[in-house]
Chains A and B, each alone.
Chain A
Amino acid sequence: MALVETRDLVKKFGDLTAVDHISFTVGRGEVVGFLGPNGAGKSTTMKIISGFLEPTSGSAFIAGHDSHADPILARRHLGYLPEGAPAYSDMSVAAFLEFVAGMHGLSRATANNRLAELVERVDLAGVWNQRIESLSKGFKRRVGIAQALVHDPDVLVLDEPTDGLDPNQKHEMRQLIRSIAANKAIVISTHILEEVEAICSRAIIIAKGRMLADATPQQLMERAPEQGSFAITISSAQPQVAVDLLGAQSGVARIEIVRHSNGSARLLVHAGEVKPNAQDLISLLGRSNIVVEEFYQERARLDEVFRQITHSVAGH
């Protein structure tokens, strides 16, 4: 059973359609990255899933409960980190987490056990009795995560969990998410693409409220324009010779001379439908006595794919 499901979600703010027919499901064990440019409708979609906003049409389900018709049941299964990780700044970390645990209906004993575990897991021991307003951004974000985990929910919806964290904190946050991913359904929104590669089993790309892709990071990479192409630096005064040689190879669509100076040239070999074989290209150049200084296989980058996909609607 899908733990999170949206069916044809639409949300309009006046004339603006912020969310435009978004449908997807997330099962247990999945970490779905919600990607999109700013203002794409990521946060609005998450607010609807959590039940904070009502959709104009369509519905959202958490563990099978409609988050609007059946909000209490749905929310029992939900851990939610709103955008910006809001928390009551006048409370201590301990008081705040105890408050949230109580609101989830945990008994005092259960709450204490859970909190003791979370202190370790989210590393909050050092600030346990500190007021939230005095915490650094990284700790505030951790408090937000702890708050979402207090009742050990099946579903986690985290709106930009690593926003504003330094690289070390980002790394820790990702490790934390990975460590709890196995028996939960997790949706995180982000605009950091490396994050998707690092923790997500699936990525959903939205722009202008519409879903443009729903695929694994690997599948998305295969759409990258530079997938399977090569960057080759040769020492040759006449790179055109190499270009002609390589251009005749099967799988080579197009060759660019990116740089040509001081008897050395950098070529970019774009692949066609069938990828050329790296070994073949190297031995071909070797046979023609062209000295290869560098030979890279270009790695597909998700941000290229992202740009390509989101640009197709940006013109609207």
Chain B
Amino acid sequence: MMKSSVRSLILLRGIDMRTIGLIFRREFSAYFATPLAAVFLAIFLALAAGMCFFVAGFFDRAQADLSGFFLWHPWLFLVLMPAVAMRLWAEERRSGTIELLMTLPVHVWEVVVGKWLAAWAFAGLALVLTMPVWITVNFLGSPDNGVILASYIGSWLMAGAFLAISSCISALTKSQVLAFISSAAVGFLFVMAGFDLVLAGLRSWAPPLVLDVVRSMSFIGNFQRITDGVLEMPSMIFFVSLIIFALWLNVQAIDVKKAA
């Protein structure tokens, strides 16, 4: 296993963009082959706008920013991103197409990246469709559009992290339901990593360094630093690193199943 993962990393340099592109196109259009995409986008937009305007009291706050809009993204993504990614691998296992796919002359890496990119692009599309919220806030006042852009990028990266984790978990099962529930559970730990709910369990025995590391992996904490417009870079790098690590694990998950 070690050998093959080293090989995968070396091959990363020689990744065939065409293969990734083909996988990406297939997966992305698969979202639109069923009404699932439309339903998902509708739910996402309704929730995102509803949370912003009603729960967070966008109009009452009378502030020209979108912090009330982005505030809810970790929670929305916690439920919605596993739903986007759950079919990526579990469906291939259930229908047997994984046997077809993995006996084509392609590297596991290319497939993993192509699939994740498709899911990420879909999440990106959902975010783009929230544009009216941004237009509204610009119409009503003059917000700091730099912070809003950074927040959108941060939100997209956080979605990517959720998707990478969910894709990795999806590779371990042929049940989409199981993939969804497990991914949401793992995602919940990341979302809550900065809170006592997770930290209390560690505090009694783990050294302070571990507590700091866990706290630093909090999705809410990292995302907040981005939406606050302070210290964006380290948090962006955190999300990117997490994506790369989860995708690497995803490749391992496929390789392990092969030898089982």
Contacts and interface: CB of A to CB of B under 8 A. Distances in A.
Nearest to A72: B105
A53 B258 contact: yes
A83 B96 contact: yes
Nearest to B22: A102
Interface stretch (A27-35, A73-81, A121-129, A220-228): A73-81
B205 to A, nearest CB: 35
30 contacts: A13-B260, A47-B99, A50-B103, A52-B99, A52-B102, A52-B103, A53-B259, A72-B106, A73-B105, A78-B103, A80-B103, A82-B96, A82-B100, A83-B99, A86-B96, A86-B97, A86-B99, A86-B100, A87-B97, A88-B26, A88-B30, A88-B95, A90-B30, A91-B33, A99-B22, A100-B100, A103-B19, A103-B105, A104-B105, A147-B100
A120 to B, nearest CB: 23
B61 interface: no
Given A51-B103, A99-B26, A103-B106, A84 B96 contact: yes
B96 A75 contact: no
A105 interface: yes
Interface in A53-95: 53-54, 71-73, 75-76, 78, 80, 82-84, 86-91
B174 interface: no
A103 B104 contact: yes
Contacts of B34: 90
Among A50, A90, A104, A147: residue with most chain B CB under 10 A: A90
B18 interface: yes
Contact of B105 (A13, A54, A86, A105): A105
Counting contact residues on chain B (CB < 8 A from A), the size range is 20 to 34
Nearest to B30: A90
A75 B99 CA distance: 13
Among B19, B104, B106, B258: residue with most chain A CB under 10 A: B104
Contacts of B30: 88, 90-91
Interface of A: 13, 47, 50-54, 71-73, 75-76, 78, 80, 82-84, 86-91, 99-100, 102-105, 147
A206 to B, nearest CB: 20
A111 B104 CA distance: 15
A104 B104 contact: yes
Contacts of B259: 53-54
Contacts of A87: 97, 100
B17 to A, nearest CB: 12
A50 B100 CA distance: 10
Contacts of A89: 95
B225 interface: no
A29 B227 CA distance: 66
A90 B19 CA distance: 20
Among B19, B99, B259, B260: residue with most chain A CB under 10 A: B99
Contacts of A51: 102-103
A270 to B, nearest CB: 47
Nearest to B260: A13
A28 to B, nearest CB: 21
Contacts of A147: 100
Contacts of A99: 22, 26
B259 to A, nearest CB: 4
A76 B138 CA distance: 55
Nearest to A13: B260
Contacts of B260: 13
Nearest to A71: B105
A82 B106 CA distance: 17
Contacts of B107: 72
Among B26, B34, B259: residue with most chain A CB under 10 A: B26
B94 to A, nearest CB: 10
Given A102-B22, A147-B100, 13 more contacts: A52-B99, A53-B258, A54-B258, A71-B105, A73-B105, A78-B103, A80-B103, A82-B103, A86-B99, A86-B100, A91-B26, A99-B26, A104-B104
Interface in B56-100: 95-97, 99-100
Interface in B1-60: 16, 18-19, 22, 26, 30, 33-34
A143 to B, nearest CB: 11
A47 B19 CA distance: 23
B121 to A, nearest CB: 17
Contacts of A73: 105
Contacts of B103: 50-52, 75, 78, 80, 82
A110 to B, nearest CB: 14
Nearest to A80: B103
Contacts of B100: 80, 82, 86-87, 100, 147
Contacts of B95: 86, 88-89
